[in-house]
Structure 1
Amino acid sequence: MPNRYAGTEEERGALDAYVKLWRAAHAVEVAANRHLSEHNLTISQFAVLEALYHLGPLSQRQLADKILRSSGNLTMVIDNLERDGLVSRERVPTDRRIMSVTLTPRGQQLIGRVLPEHVANIRNIFRLIPADAVITLTTLTRTLGLAVTQHPDGEPLREKARDRDRTGMLKT
């Protein structure tokens, strides 16, 4: 459905792209994570387990940065994972202010079972579009994400032609 915003064509185009991106991302997130409830996991809990599985022990701050959650929200998530015996926390001996979070054997076993199913769900979602579209989507979303994080004030990039590849995409 086209938006009804009465702004400029550029504003309407940006708003339309934003709404489509948000809706697609939400639909993919729901579809990819639907199976987590079968394992009594929330999306945030799964993200913590997956990060620890791939990266090893991390501080709560590092985990929050990796899974794009606030450290306040993450405390409750880790409390629940610890309660369920999936992670453990201990103070870092060199800096007692920092808590290191580690997978327990039970957490390792759970993520080892859940992750292959998760990857299969994601693979099946992206099989819905052609492989070249997946590559284009990957490039576009990476370019957009980098542009936003490098220019958080929302100012548009003023790159030169040399900053774009032969397809017109920003070099990343």
Structure 2
Amino acid sequence: MKSLHDMPEGAVSASVSLDRLFELAEVLGSMMERGVAAHGLTRARAGLLWALFHDGPMTQRALAGQLGVTPRNVTGLIDALEADGLVARTPHPADRRATLVSLTESGRALTAGLREGRDELAVELFGDMPAAQLAAIYDGLETVITRLRTIDQASR
């Protein structure tokens, strides 16, 4: 394994790159917190809405697995979102022991608005960036995300 100290002079070190990723995570996390709070949500509740927006109705167990939380935790999130009129529980059509969770019209409108905000930020960040630079960022992030997931899985 190469040492972090074997970098050519003037090259960006791996440590400095990781520091920038931590800074990016902090800035994006803060922006996400403020953005979802403006809609009366927490990041956890917004994550559940986002999962339903992208993947459609699913069981509470499936939601818990997708979000990486316990079934008890997802029940609390759903209870709060249902009280706010953003999700609804319905009987599963094929499994009478299961319940499907889906977005209500209000939930769909809210998540569509969150998506519009995301798209506007994407244009602001990347709209005038040359395609080659954007592709390099994407490829680099894909590599980093894949490696982080591998490290995370190995540490469990």
More helix by share: 2
2:10 aligns to what? none
Greater shift in the superposed pair: 78-87 or 144-153? 144-153
Q: Distance in 2 between matches of 1:62 and 1:133?
A: 37
Cα 1:149–1:61 shift into 2, 3 Å: farther
What secondary structure does 2:85 align onto? coil
- For 2:69, give the aligned amino acid: S
Greater shift in the superposed pair: 25-34 or 125-134? 125-134
Cα 1:97–1:20 shift into 2, 3 Å: farther
Q: Distance in 1 between matches of 2:65 and 2:23?
A: 24
Alignment check: 8 A CA contact 1:32 1:125 kept: no
Gaps of 5+ in 2: 6-12
Alignment check: 8 A CA contact 1:48 1:63 kept: yes
2:135 aligns to what? 135
Cα 1:144–1:114 shift into 2, 3 Å: closer
1:38 aligns to what? 38
Q: Deviations over 1:7-37 (max 9, x none)?
A: x536xx5544333212212212323553322
Q: Deviations over 1:53-108 (max 9, x none)?
A: 22210223433444x44134333222211110100123435334543210112212
Cα 1:140–1:88 shift into 2, 3 Å: same
Within a 5 Å distance, the mapping from 1:104-143 to structure 2 comes to: 104-127=104-127, 131-143=131-143
1:18 lines up with 2:18 in the alignment = yes
Cα 1:57–1:30 shift into 2, 3 Å: same
Aligned residues: 146
1:164 aligns to what? none
Could you tell me the percent identity over the aligned residues? 29
- For 1:36, give the aligned amino acid: V
Alignment check: 8 A CA contact 1:57 1:103 kept: yes
Query: Over the residues paired in the alignment, what is the CA RMSD in angstroms?
Result: 3.2
Greater shift in the superposed pair: 125-134 or 109-118? 125-134
1:54 aligns to what? 54
1:80 aligns to what? 80
Gaps of 5+ in 1: 1-7, 155-172
